[in-house]
């Protein structure tokens, strides 16, 4: 039994490494073929205001990356693309791990991960100046941590990770709220099905919320100004309902 | 219908799609129970519908993904559905069909993704770069320029050409996609002299030209700089020369006599008529020194072969003494060592006059080899102390071998500056028809 488990784990490690390498290779070739910047990428790198009469929302995550790049003397475009290439590749591995966490067989998990690795949009956002690669990676990390926390004795540790990842996902794309909402619903449903005590559910929820708050606080400390935050929160409403920039 | 289809296609590959996959994987955890599987499918459908509505609502869908990738994705979606049903209901699915769907879907998606990734966008990047360089060359020589954005092509070309902001760091790109494009274009035409647009051939270009014809009075000259190709969508760079409607009598002067190389020009104030008077070189250097300028590398000062000071058509002795501007080619001063291979001119102001004007205007008529340009900046001094370059004002480009007029505004020097200099670096083969430099009073 123990030998089978070891063999499975070894297989998982090899598959995760292989899938990540495969995904990274695809993304790097795609980047080499067409290192185009997207329309939104122009806005992110120029810190908004590139169009005279339109203000577009800026993700704090990209603002921080741009500042870091400037401090290190690296072109912001290069740093963001490098981070996205890694994040997009790790997302594939994360999908595999989530599938395994859901007790799927290895080949079914590998197919799910391969699907993500060759998804054209997934490849695009992984080698362009976009936020989606990091957003999706950390959404997947949140999900993985929740699944891992279910039966683990290190529940607090997993929830801590989930909170931090949720905060990063939120600061990459505000849509992470939707994901956390759906996830929350699923977990409440699970608790309801399992007839878990309300107190246990509340404890877990409070732990996660606390760690999410700590994550927000840590990101806040990365010198994001209130005006940048305000622009981030109000930006979507401004763009889609008031200005309609396309 | 096409928009609806595009919206659906966009939805399939929306990032939410990946999240939906994750949701399905999560819900497969419940697969021992039929009811939960049903919930999972409904949840997935809900996310898809949400994504679809979101895209349709904001109409941001576009043809970005080939049908080749959508069809296999649909096959795989069916496979996933079967997987869910089999796992949840413990039924007896057609295993052979399921396997074929899986193989077909994966193979199709890989091929579709390959087509999308390795073929469709090839060449567009280099075309954007080329167009950006051309836009830069065209705009930096222009007076009060603006970039009009008619699609995502335009903003990216402007980014690669570093033409999104003007010399003062202000945005000079105007979006004509949203809102009322005609009204916006009219507003841009009213406030800018040169406009440029990277617009796709066909409907987009026709719309821009039609809007121009509707709102511009008189119709500006539209120059087509070059054509570019990429992803089967050729686009063109259009330079809209709006100056004739705003400037008086500064039409291109084909008969303007070029000044000899190395000569110095100018100096006139308040729109006086320009003419030339030869002045003794030593006299000029003497005047420089009398203004308090010390030459750190005096031995390297290049005295101009000819110096011309112009003031109201004639340079009287009394005027010489009161001359407010000098123009001098040479290699002295800060920055020259950086541009030692270029001809440099400095326009120098005397004491006590700096703050009388709100801003300064430099107007040029230049012609030369396309690509040649004048780089102009303002240096500021306090007494003999050089304070630094206040602003790199911009460039005048020679687009054609005809004289073209350019105009550049410089804000007044900072309050602790009592003298300033305008530095001009000549890059390439250029001829100057005329230069005016004057102050705009408060």
Task: For chain A, give every domain's residue range.
Answer: 2-243
With a CB cutoff of 8 Å and minimum separation 6, the contacts of A153 are none
Question: Which of A170-179, B192-201, B386-395 shows the lowest per-residue confidence on average (mean pLDDT)?
Answer: B386-395
Looking at the structure, tell me whether residues B108 and B192 fall in a common domain. no
Q: Find where tokens 């849509």 sit.
A: A175
CB contact burial A92-127 (16+ within 10 A = b; e otherwise): bbbbbbbbbbbebeeebbbbbbbbbbbbbbbbbbbb
d(C-alpha A212, C-alpha A209), whole Å:
5
Q: Which residue has the tokens 């110095």?
A: B264
pLDDT of residue B53: 47
B81 closest CA partner among B27, B16, B136: B27
Same domain, B30 and B95: yes
Q: Are both B96 and B150 inside the same structural domain?
A: no
State the Cα–Cα distance between residues B441 and B424, nearest whole angstrom.
23
Query: What pLDDT does residue B378 have?
Result: 63
Range with lowest mean pLDDT among B75-89, B102-116, B145-159, B343-357 = B343-357
Indicate the range of A134-138, A187-191, B77-81, B267-271 predicted with least confidence.
B267-271
In A, minimum Cα distance to B155 occurs at A39
Question: What confidence tens digit (pLDDT) does each residue in A107-124 have?
Answer: 767 877 877 787 766 788
**Four-point Cα dihedral A163, A164, A168, A170, nearest 10:** 20
List, in sequence order, the alpha helices (H) in A52-175.
60-72, 76-101, 106-118, 120-126, 132-150, 155-172
Mean of pLDDT values over B135-146: 68
Asked whether residue B254 is domain-assigned, the answer is: no
Nearest CB among A38, A50, A132 relative to B171 is that of A50
pLDDT digits (tens, 9 = 90+) for A8-35: 788 899 999 999 999 999 899 888 877 8
Q: Are residues B434 and B291 in the same domain?
A: yes
CA–CA gap between residue B224 and residue A94 (Å, rounded): 50
- Identify all chain B residues contacting A50, using CB atoms and an 8 Å cutoff: 155, 159, 164-165, 171, 173
Q: What is the pLDDT of residue A99?
A: 77
Which residues in chain A (161-190) have CB-CB distances under 8 A to chain B?
A: 175, 179, 182, 186, 189-190
Q: Answer whether A44's CB lies under 8 Å from A50's CB.
A: no
Query: Cβ of B113 and A123 within 8 Å?
Result: yes
Beta B343-349 vs B419-427: how paired, if at all?
Answer: antiparallel
Closest CA in chain B for residue A175:
B16
Q: What is the mean pLDDT of residues B434-442?
A: 55
Residues of B in contact with A35 (CB under 8 A): 125
| DSSP H/E element including A217 | helix A198-220
Whether residue B344 contacts residue B304, with contact meaning beta carbons closer than 8 Å, is answered with: no
Same domain, B344 and B375: yes
Tell me if chain B has a CB within 8 Å of the CB of A213.
no
Identify the band that residue B18 occupies on the pLDDT scale cut at 50, 70 and 90: low
Residues A125, A41 contacting (CB under 8 angstroms): no
**Pairs of residues, one from chain A and one from chain B, whose beta carbons lie less than 8 Å apart:** 157
B87 and B216 together in one domain: no
Structure confidence by residue, pLDDT tens digits, B397-430 = 444 455 555 666 666 555 555 555 555 555 555 5
**B410 within some domain:** yes
B298 is written with which tokens?
């005096």
Give φ, ψ of A216 to 5 degrees. -60, -45
Nearest to A147 by CA among A109, A113, A97, A195: A97
Q: Note whether residue B427 is domain-resident.
A: yes
Chain A residue numbers touching B39 (CB-CB < 8 A): 189
Question: In terms of domains, do B111 and B148 share one?
Answer: no
Interface contact B121-A116, CB threshold 8 A: no
Q: Pull the structure tokens for residue B28.
A: 């497969």
Domain CATH for B349: 2.60.120
Asked if residue B204 is part of any domain, the answer here is yes
pLDDT at A82: 94
Residue A43 has pLDDT above 70, yes or no: yes
Which residues in B lie closer than 8 A to residue A95 (C-beta atoms)? 18, 21-22, 25
Mean pLDDT for chain B overall: 56
CB within 8 A of A191, min separation 6: which ones?
Answer: A200, A201
Q: Which class for B321: exposed (0-12), middle (13-18), buried (19 or more C-beta within 10 A)? A: exposed
Q: Tell me if B391 sits within 8 A of B414, measured CB to CB.
A: no
Cβ <8 Å between A115 and B76: yes
Of the CA atoms within 13 Å of residue B35, those in its CB half-sphere come to 3
Q: Write down the pLDDT at residue B164.
A: 84
Q: Is B116 exposed, middle or buried (0-12, 13-18, 19+ CB in 10 A)?
A: buried
Same domain membership, residue B286 and residue B430: yes
> Which residues in chain B are closer than 8 Å to A90, comparing Cβ atoms?
none
- A-chain CB neighbours of B60 within 8 Å are 246
Interface of A with B in 27-86 (CB under 8 A): 29-30, 33-39, 42, 45-46, 49-54
pLDDT value at position B131?
87
How far is the C-alpha of B341 from the C-alpha of B55, rounded, in Å?
56
Residue of A nearest to B164 (CA): A50
Mean of pLDDT values over B119-148: 74
- CB count within 10 Å of CB B123 equals 16
Please give the C-alpha separations between residue A20 and each of A12, A145, B19, B64, in angstroms, as whole numbers.
Answer: 12, 19, 19, 25
B28 contacts A36? CB cut-off 8 A? no
Residues B360 and B411 occupy one common structural domain:
yes
**Measured between beta carbons, which residues in chain A are less than 8 angstroms from residue B13?**
119-122
Q: Which of A141-150, A168-177, B197-206 has the lowest mean pLDDT?
A: A168-177
Q: Check if the interface score ipTM surpasses 0.90.
A: no
Picking from A68, A71, A48, the residue whose alpha carbon sits closest to that of residue A58 is: A48
| Cα A84 from Cα A137, distance rounded (Å) | 10
- B/e letters for B154-182, b = 16+ CB within 10 Å, e = fewer, are bbbbbbbbebbbbbeeebbbbbbbbeebe
Note whether A120 contacts B117, CB cutoff 8 Å: yes
Per the structure, the complete domain to which residue B13 belongs is given by 2-120
Best A47, A50, A56 member to test B by mutation, with max B CBs in 10 Å, is A50
pLDDT at A165 > cutoff 80: yes
How far is it, in rounded angstroms, from Cα B313 to Cα B276?
7
**Residues B397, B303 share a domain:** yes
Between chains, do A99 and B23 touch, taking CB under 8 Å as contact?
A: no
> 3-class SS at B155?
helix
Question: With contacts defined as CB-CB under 8 Å, which chain B residues touch A116?
Answer: 18, 21
**B43 domain-assigned:** yes
Alpha-carbon span A100 to B119, nearest angstrom: 34
Is the Cβ of A98 closer than 8 Å to some Cβ of chain B?
yes
CB neighbourhood size of A195 (10 A): 6
CB pair distance less than 8 Å for A39 and B60: no
Number of domains comprising chain B = 3
| B 136-165 residues inside an 8 A Cβ radius of A | 149, 152, 155-156, 159-160, 164-165
Q: How far apart are CA B114 and CA A120, in angstroms?
A: 8
Structure confidence by residue, pLDDT tens digits, B81-126: 555 555 544 445 555 666 666 666 666 666 666 665 555 556 788 8
Q: Cβ A39–B179 below 8 Å, yes or no?
A: no
What percent of chain A is modeled with pLDDT above 70?
74
**A36 vs B contacts (CB less than 8 Å):** 121, 124-125, 128, 156
Judge if B304 and B432 occupy the same domain.
Answer: yes
Statement: residue B157 has pLDDT above 60: yes
**Distance in Å, alpha carbon of A48 to nearest chain B alpha carbon:** 10
Q: Are B266 and B308 in contact (CB under 8 A)?
A: yes
Instruction: Give the chain A residue nearest B61 (alpha carbons).
Output: A246
pLDDT of A89 above 90: yes
């Amino acid at each position: 039994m123990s030998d089978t488990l070891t063999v499975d784990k070894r297989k998982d490690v090899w598959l995760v490494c292989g899938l990540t390498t495969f995904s990274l290779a695809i993304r790097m070739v795609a980047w080499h073929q067409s290192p185009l910047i997207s329309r939104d990428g122009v806005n992110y790198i120029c810190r908004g205001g590139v169009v005279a009469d339109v203000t577009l929302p800026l993700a704090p995550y990209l603002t921080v990356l741009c500042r870091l790049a400037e401090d290190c003397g690296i072109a912001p475009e290069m740093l963001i693309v490098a981070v996205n290439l890694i994040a997009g590749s790790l997302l594939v591995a994360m999908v595999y791990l989530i599938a395994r966490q859901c007790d799927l067989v290895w080949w079914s998990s590998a197919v799910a991960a391969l699907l993500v690795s060759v998804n054209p949009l997934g490849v695009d956002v992984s080698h362009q100046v976009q936020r989606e690669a990091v957003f999706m990676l950390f959404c997947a990390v949140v999900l993985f941590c929740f699944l891992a926390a279910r039966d683990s004795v290190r529940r607090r540790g997993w929830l801590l990770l989930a909170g931090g990842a949720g905060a990063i996902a939120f600061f990459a794309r505000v849509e992470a709220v939707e994901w956390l909402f759906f996830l929350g619903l699923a977990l409440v449903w699970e608790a309801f099905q399992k007839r878990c005590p309300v107190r246990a559910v509340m404890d877990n929820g409070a732990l996660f919320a606390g760690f999410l708050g700590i994550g927000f606080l840590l990101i806040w400390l990365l010198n994001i100004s209130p005006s940048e935050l305000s622009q981030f929160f109000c930006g979507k409403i401004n763009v889609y309902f008031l200005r309609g920039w396309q | 219908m096409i928009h609806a289809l595009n919206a659906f296609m966009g939805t399939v590959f929306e990032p939410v799609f990946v999240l939906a996959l994750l949701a399905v994987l999560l819900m497969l955890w419940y697969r021992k129970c039929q009811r939960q599987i049903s919930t999972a499918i409904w949840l997935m459908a809900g996310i898809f519908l949400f994504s679809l509505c979101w895209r349709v609502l904001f109409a941001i869908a576009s043809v970005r993904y080939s049908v080749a990738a959508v069809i296999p994705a649909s096959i795989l979606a069916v496979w996933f559905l079967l997987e869910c049903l089999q796992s949840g209901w413990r039924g007896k699915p057609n295993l052979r069909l399921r396997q074929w769907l899986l193989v077909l879907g994966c193979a199709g998606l890989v091929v579709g993704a390959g087509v999308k990734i390795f073929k469709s966008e090839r060449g567009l990047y280099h075309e954007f770069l080329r167009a950006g360089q051309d836009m830069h060359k065209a705009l930096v020589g222009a007076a009060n320029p603006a970039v009009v954005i008619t699609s995502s092509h335009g903003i990216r070309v402007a980014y690669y050409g570093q033409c999104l902001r003007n010399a003062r760091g202000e945005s000079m790109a105007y979006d004509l996609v949203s809102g009322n494009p005609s009204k916006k274009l009219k507003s841009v035409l009213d406030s800018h002299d040169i406009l440029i647009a990277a617009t796709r051939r066909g409907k987009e270009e026709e719309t821009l030209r039609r809007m121009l014809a509707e709102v511009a009075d008189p119709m500006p000259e539209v120059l087509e700089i070059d054509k570019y190709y990429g992803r089967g969508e050729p686009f063109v760079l259009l330079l809209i020369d709006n100056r004739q409607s705003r400037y008086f009598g500064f039409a291109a002067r084909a008969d303007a006599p070029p000044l000899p190389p190395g000569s110095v020009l100018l100096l006139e104030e308040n729109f006086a008529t320009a003419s030339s008077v030869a002045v003794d070189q030593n006299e000029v250097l003497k005047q420089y020194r009398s203004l308090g300028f010390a030459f750190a590398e005096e031995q390297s000062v290049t005295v101009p072969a000819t110096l011309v000071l112009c003031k109201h058509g004639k340079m009287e002795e009394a005027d010489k003494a009161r001359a407010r501007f000098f123009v001098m080619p040479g290699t002295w001063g800060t920055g020259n060592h950086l541009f030692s291979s270029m001809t440099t001119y400095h326009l120098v102001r005397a004491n006590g006059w700096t703050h009388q004007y709100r801003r300064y205007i430099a107007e040029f008529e230049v012609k030369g080899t396309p690509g040649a340009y004048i780089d102009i900046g303002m240096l500021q001094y306090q007494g003999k102390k050089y304070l630094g370059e206040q602003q790199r004002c911009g460039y005048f480009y020679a687009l054609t071998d005809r004289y073209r007029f350019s105009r550049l505004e410089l804000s007044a020097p900072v309050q602790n500056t009592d003298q300033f200099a305008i530095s001009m670096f000549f890059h390439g083969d250029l001829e100057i028809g005329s230069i005016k430099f004057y102050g705009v009073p408060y």
